[in-house]
């Protein structure tokens, strides 16, 4: 009997965890500060010692302190036809460790992991559905599975979000010494974290990681959390073997395994494409026509199949069905360009607002999107092949300013996507305002937008009238009673400029003071918000967008009014940007207001936050500058 117990503990160490009593009383109060939940105990074991197989075990205990912590309970496991779930189980306790519920595999909800727009997705998820009746409560979760993919090894995040703390977390990876994983440690400084290595395993431990409080204008959390990543030089992707120790080799493997044999298109399509470009002499002109052909022919639908969801569907299938996901449409566009001799690069990246880059020195299978790059010397023109609306060469803030992987004939290479500078993100506005004798006004607003500011607006052209009018009312919600009379919108896709002209009525443009009027001039482009005061800020200051605004406003006042004194010109300039306003008298009843604003993106030390806040406060004050209209005495 003793031998049996010894063997059970040796080979099934996770079984003993259910006997441990967990309680809020055993959690240091410092761990509950600013936290919605506390990870009391976590043990993760990843075994890649057998070639072509990854075994994963997790035992996790989390105490949920309030309703905001419910989503922190990650009691779920994703799987597909290449994953074998060996165990999934959960226990729910009250705050003092008294068992409330026990969930076995049959009690977990089994649903498709489709993203809501996939036409086909064989990923599924088993998840715990528990509705608490009181707080705090504790969830103990077990999961074990195996899969035949080792190209992507789960990273260790002992702290994975705001308002979450960790009492203890341990991550162990077991490997064959002849195929030792490469390791990347990030943001471990300042935490009670250790990483130790043995001949066939690496063990990461963390204790007492306190909750991070959200602070506005902080860097992307993905780039600041402590984590350790792993990658094998010799790996498999759903049974397909591969070997790569750097991005060049990894790109070659992708080219030879994921992107091979998917570039067939009907000869009739080739003839059609060649006929379309027959009068063009430059690669850019030809590529523009082909990109327009793509946008008119296909639509985006996610399809998560083909070697673990990483291999594009056949170009011939896209040609036949007129749809595909980002991989398929990128590959299809590349195939069309190849047919007429225009080189292009299949490109993998992390798309999204947070600008997550690939690490130049750590190659592994990652990313969530594919685009196409067309080289021209040292320059690359980027095409977003999933969009039926974006202009040729415009990727906007979804794919800009980040390191990405291009697959070239020579292998993989990390390059940086387009950086939109502040002067490229320009909104140039010309505004005429005519003030009536009763203090109301009519205004003509004309504006052109480029760069990221173009990306914010160009889809407006396709909206219906009601939505467009509602958009302008929301945009100018600081103007009381504004009425949109008419508008003209133009999307110049060739030059990537969006033009607006809007005529509006403003019933109460000026406030009456006796016989005079007080008028706020800048009503169309206010920067009135000021970041909140933060005592003892912990995070660096992160400004994610550069832009430039130029506003020229001509104000016509009633003939029986005059302006005795115009406000002084003001300039504010620092490392974050600049701001300038100026008033000019054009005639007895016309004045001109000029406003020029520049904001620069970047990451600054946390000590700079108050300086930036002061900068925004000054702008907010100057944007409220008013003029007084004096009624002339008869």
Residue 224 lies in a domain: no
Same domain, 61 and 194: yes
pLDDT at res. 406: 98
The distance of Cα 404 from the centroid of its chain, to the nearest Å, equals 14
Same domain, 28 and 156: yes
- 309 pLDDT band, cuts 50/70/90, is confident
Report the alpha-carbon angle 379-385-388, nearest 5. 125
**Strand locations in 436-589, DSSP E?**
441-450, 483-492, 497-506, 510-513, 516-520, 541-543, 547-556, 561-562, 570-574, 577-587
End-of-domain residue from the set 175, 195, 214 = 214
CATH number at 522 reads 2.60.120.1130
Residues in the chain, total:
634
Mean pLDDT of 139-168: 96
Task: Choose among 68, 59, 52, 53: nearest CA to 161.
Answer: 68
d(CA 577, CA 546) in angstroms, rounded, equals 9
pLDDT at res. 499: 98
Residue 435 lies in a domain: yes
Same domain, 407 and 515: no
Residue 495 lies in a domain: yes
Mean pLDDT of 455-466: 96
Same domain, 544 and 488: yes
- In the predicted model, is pLDDT for residue 118 greater than 70? no
End-of-domain residue from the set 381, 416, 451 = 416
Residue 38 lies in a domain: yes
Bridge-partner residues for 483, per DSSP?
505
Residue 592 lies in a domain: yes
- 202 pLDDT band, cuts 50/70/90, is very high
d(CA 80, CA 237) in angstroms, rounded, equals 13
- 25 pLDDT band, cuts 50/70/90, is very high
Check the CA dihedral 584-586-592-597 and report its sign.
negative
pLDDT at res. 21: 81
Residue 154 lies in a domain: yes
Same domain, 539 and 558: yes
pLDDT at res. 310: 86
Residue 226 lies in a domain: no
Span 221-235, pLDDT tens digits: 988 999 999 999 999
d(CA 427, CA 448) in angstroms, rounded, equals 6
Q: Would you state the structure tokens that stand for residue 399, as one six-digit string?
A: 């794919």
Same domain, 66 and 126: yes
pLDDT at res. 13: 42
d(CA 44, CA 315) in angstroms, rounded, equals 41
Mean pLDDT of 427-445: 97
Q: Is 592 exposed, middle or buried (0-12, 13-18, 19+ CB in 10 A)?
A: middle
- In the predicted model, is pLDDT for residue 508 greater than 90? yes
CATH number at 411 reads 3.10.620.30
Same domain, 101 and 26: yes
Mean pLDDT of 496-511: 96
Same domain, 493 and 627: yes
- 412 pLDDT band, cuts 50/70/90, is very high
Q: What pTM does this model have? A: 0.91
The distance of Cα 526 from the centroid of its chain, to the nearest Å, equals 26
Q: pLDDT averaged over the chain?
A: 93
- In the predicted model, is pLDDT for residue 404 greater than 80? yes
- In the predicted model, is pLDDT for residue 14 greater than 50? no
**Residue 489 dihedral angles phi and psi, to the nearest 5°:** -120, 140
- 114 pLDDT band, cuts 50/70/90, is low
End-of-domain residue from the set 416, 439, 455 = 416
- 559 pLDDT band, cuts 50/70/90, is very high
- 5 pLDDT band, cuts 50/70/90, is very low
* CA distance readout (Å), 312 to 248, 260, 332: 20, 10, 9
d(CA 218, CA 220) in angstroms, rounded, equals 6
Q: Would you state the structure tokens that stand for residue 130, as one six-digit string?
A: 């528990």
Domain containing 609: what range?
Answer: 426-631
pLDDT at res. 198: 94
d(CA 359, CA 350) in angstroms, rounded, equals 11
Residue 453 lies in a domain: yes
DSSP H helical segments within 340-450, as ranges? 396-399
DSSP secondary structure, 317-366, as one string: HHHHHSEE-HHHHHHHHHHHHHHTT---EEEEE--STT-PPPPTT---S-
The answer to whether the CB of 234 falls within 8 A of the CB of 176 is no
Total structural domains within the chain:
3
Q: List the single range of 109-113, 362-366, 422-426, 628-632 with lowest mean pLDDT.
A: 109-113
Span 518-545, pLDDT tens digits: 999 999 999 999 999 999 999 999 999 9
- In the predicted model, is pLDDT for residue 19 greater than 80? no
Same domain, 391 and 430: no
- 139 pLDDT band, cuts 50/70/90, is very high
- 2 pLDDT band, cuts 50/70/90, is very low
Strands laid side by side in the 516-520 sheet: 510-513, 516-520, 626-631, 561-562
Same domain, 245 and 263: yes
- 3-state SS class at 469: helix
pLDDT at res. 307: 47
Task: Choose among 597, 530, 598, 592: nearest CA to 567.
Answer: 592
Same domain, 457 and 505: yes
Same domain, 448 and 581: yes
Mean pLDDT of 312-327: 95
Percent of the chain topping pLDDT 70: 94
pLDDT at res. 558: 95
DSSP tag of 156: B
DSSP H helical segments within 176-260, as ranges? 247-257
């Amino acid at each position: 009997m003793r031998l049996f117990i010894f063997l059970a503990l040796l080979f099934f160490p996770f079984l003993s965890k259910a006997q441990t009593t967990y309680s809020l009383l055993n959690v240091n109060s410092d761990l509950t500060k600013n936290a919605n939940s506390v990870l009391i105990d976590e043990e993760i074991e990843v075994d890649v010692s057998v070639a072509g197989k990854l075994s994963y075990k997790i035992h996790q205990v989390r105490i949920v302190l309030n309703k905001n912590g419910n989503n922190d309970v990650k009691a779920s496991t994703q799987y597909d036809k290449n994953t074998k779930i060996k165990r999934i189980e959960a226990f729910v306790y009250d705050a003092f460790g008294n068992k409330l519920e026990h969930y076995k595999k049959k009690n977990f909800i089994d649903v498709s992991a489709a993203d809501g727009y996939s036409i086909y997705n064989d990923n599924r998820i088993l998840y715990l559905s528990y509705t608490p009746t009181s707080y705090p409560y504790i969830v103990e979760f077990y999961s074990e599975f195996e899969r035949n993919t080792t190209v992507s090894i789960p990273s260790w995040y002992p702290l994975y979000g705001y308002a979450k703390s960790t009492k203890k977390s341990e991550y162990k990876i077991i490997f064959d010494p002849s195929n030792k994983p490469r390791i990347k440690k990030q943001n471990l400084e300042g935490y009670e974290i250790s990483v130790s290595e043995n001949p066939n395993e690496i063990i990461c431990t963390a204790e007492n990681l306190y909750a991070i409080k959200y602070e506005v204008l902080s860097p992307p959390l993905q780039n600041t959390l402590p984590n350790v990543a792993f990658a094998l030089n010799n790996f498999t992707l759903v049974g397909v073997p591969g070997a790569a120790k750097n991005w060049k080799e990894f790109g070659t493997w992708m080219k030879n395994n994921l992107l091979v044999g998917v570039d067939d298109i009907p000869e009739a399509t080739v003839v059609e494409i060649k006929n379309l470009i027959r009068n063009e002499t430059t690669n850019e002109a030809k590529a523009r026509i082909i990109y327009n052909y793509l946008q008119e022919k296909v639509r985006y639908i996610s399809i998560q199949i083909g070697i673990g969801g990483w291999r594009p569907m056949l170009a011939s299938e896209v040609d036949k069905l007129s749809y595909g996901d980002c991989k398929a449409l990128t590959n299809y566009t590349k195939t069309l360009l190849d047919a007429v001799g225009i080189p292009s690069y299949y490109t993998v990246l992390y798309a999204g607002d947070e600008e997550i880059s690939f690490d130049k020195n750590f190659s592994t299978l990652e990313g969530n999107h594919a685009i196409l790059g067309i080289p021209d010397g040292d320059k690359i023109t980027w095409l977003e092949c999933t969009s039926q609306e974006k202009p040729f060469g415009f990727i906007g803030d979804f794919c800009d300013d980040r390191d990405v992987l291009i697959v070239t004939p020579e292998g993989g290479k990390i390059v940086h996507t387009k950086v939109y500078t502040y002067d490229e993100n320009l909104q140039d506005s010309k505004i005429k305002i005519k003030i009536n004798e009763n203090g109301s006004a009519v205004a003509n607003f004309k504006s052109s937008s480029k760069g990221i500011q173009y990306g914010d607006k160009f889809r407006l052209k396709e909206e219906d009238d009601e939505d467009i009018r509602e958009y302008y009312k929301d945009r100018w919600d600081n103007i009381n009673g504004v009425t949109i009379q008419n508008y003209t919108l133009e999307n110049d896709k060739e030059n990537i400029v969006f033009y607006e002209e809007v005529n509006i009525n403003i019933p109460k443009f000026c406030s009456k003071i006796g016989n005079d009027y007080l008028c706020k001039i800048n009503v169309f482009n206010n920067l009135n918000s000021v970041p909140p005061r933060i005592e003892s800020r912990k995070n660096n200051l992160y400004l994610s967008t550069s832009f430039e605004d130029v506003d020229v406003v001509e104000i016509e006042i009633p003939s029986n009014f005059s302006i005795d004194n115009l406000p002084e010109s003001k300039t504010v300039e620092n490392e974050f940007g600049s701001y300038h306003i100026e008033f000019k008298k054009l005639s007895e009843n016309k004045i001109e207001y000029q406003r020029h604003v520049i904001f620069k993106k970047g990451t600054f030390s946390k000590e700079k936050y108050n300086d930036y806040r002061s900068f925004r406060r000054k702008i907010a004050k100057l944007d409220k500058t008013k003029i007084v209209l004096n009624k002339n005495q008869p």
